Structure 1
Amino acid sequence: MHIVGLSGSNVGSKTRTAMSVTMDFLTKKHPDAEVTMIDLANYEMVFSDGRDYRTYTGDTKYIAETIMAADAIIIGTPIFQASIPAILKNIFDLLPVNAFRDKVVSMFVTAGSAKHYLIVEHQLKPILTYMKAQVVETYVFMEEKDFSRNELINDDSVFRLERLVDDTYTMVNVLEKIRIEKDEAYDF
């Protein structure tokens, strides 16, 4: 099982901090999983121009191909101006419409205000559903007050991130079992 952690911003520290906590849980609790973390702050990406993702080069191609090869993606995103960052939207624009078919996608959000809690429901989940993702229904929402000096200090947020990791891992396993059962139902 290959799980990608996608830290969906090229600025700020809260999303990166929460992603580090999430990846630590993943590697400790599920050592059998192949884990890749992509922090968009560490890559030089070009904007999508409508081409097939395989024709891009450099970091853009690496990110797109890594996501396409994953069984699950855990997306961490901040909320800027009541929306997801442009760099994260660019990732979705680079990929084909069916990019997340048979992939589990879970997410967490870091925001400066509790007023942004519905951005996932109104923006991110519709994009992922359109791209055929199997979305983990519950997500983790964290605010400014949950962080201090580049550390996640809210125990409830830490617990919910751990649960998100477990839910993502479990959903991948369940979907794999369903696929195997469906395949075995055919004679050819």
Structure 2
Amino acid sequence: MKLVGIAGSLVGEKTSQAVHDVLLEAKRVDASLETALIDLRDYEVEFVNGAPLAYYNEDTWHVVNTILSADMLVVGSPIYQASISGALKNLFDHLPVDAFKSKVTGMITTGGSEKHFLVSEYQLKPILSYLKGIVPTCSVFIHNDDFNDDKQIVNRNVMERITTLAKEMISIQRRVQVENKK
């Protein structure tokens, strides 16, 4: 199985670190898992203009095809103005409507206010569901205070939730694969 993490921010390191931690934990749960991180800071994903994917630059093509080739996804976003990042929304707009069919799509968000912990439920989850993703019951919100100065997560409860998310994603995806073979 292949798990792709998407860090949906163009600045900062916290969201990327959080997604990376989910990938590491998933690898601990299942050593045979193939993982990859798409950090949007590293790519020039063009703005959607309605053209077919073939008309966009190589970075856009690469990112979209990496996502489509995944069995599972963990999507990370910082919370800006009570919503996901524009860069992440733009990426979603490049995807076909069934891009996440039969794929578990975990959510992890970071933010500076505890008031934003439900953004994943009200902003991100509907998009993942629209793209036919299977959304686990567990999601992870990480407050900026849960990171140290080196951008490492230091809150044990957050790390436990990351472990729970990784385990749940792998468990669900295994069941989906068994069902799809029938």
Alignment partners' CA distance in 1, 2:134 and 2:18 = 22
Alignment of 1:21-170 (within 5 A): 21-149=21-149, 150-170=151-171
Alignment partners' CA distance in 1, 2:68 and 2:158 = 29
User: Share of identical aligned residues, percent?
Assistant: 38
Structure (1 or 2) with the larger CA radius of gyration: 1
* Runs of 5+ consecutive residues of structure 1 not aligned to the other structure: 182-188
Note closer, same or farther for the CA distance 1:154–1:127 as it changes in structure 2 (3 Å cut).
same
Report deviation, 1:54: 4.3
1:18 counterpart residue number:
18
* Runs of 5+ consecutive residues of structure 2 not aligned to the other structure: none
1:15-43 Cα shifts (integer Å, max 9, x gaps):
11212222221223322111111111111
| TM-score (ref. length: structure 2) | 0.95
Alignment partners' CA distance in 1, 2:116 and 2:21 = 22
| TM-score (ref. length: structure 1) | 0.92
1:151 aligned counterpart, secondary structure: coil
1:184 counterpart residue number:
none
Root mean square deviation, CA, Å: 1.2
Residues 138 and 164, structure 2, Cα contact 8 Å, conserved in 1: no
Alignment partners' CA distance in 2, 1:167 and 1:84 = 23
- Runs of 4+ aligned residues of structure 1 deviating over 4 Å after TM superposition are none
1:86-136 Cα shifts (integer Å, max 9, x gaps):
100011100111111111100111110011111111111111111111111
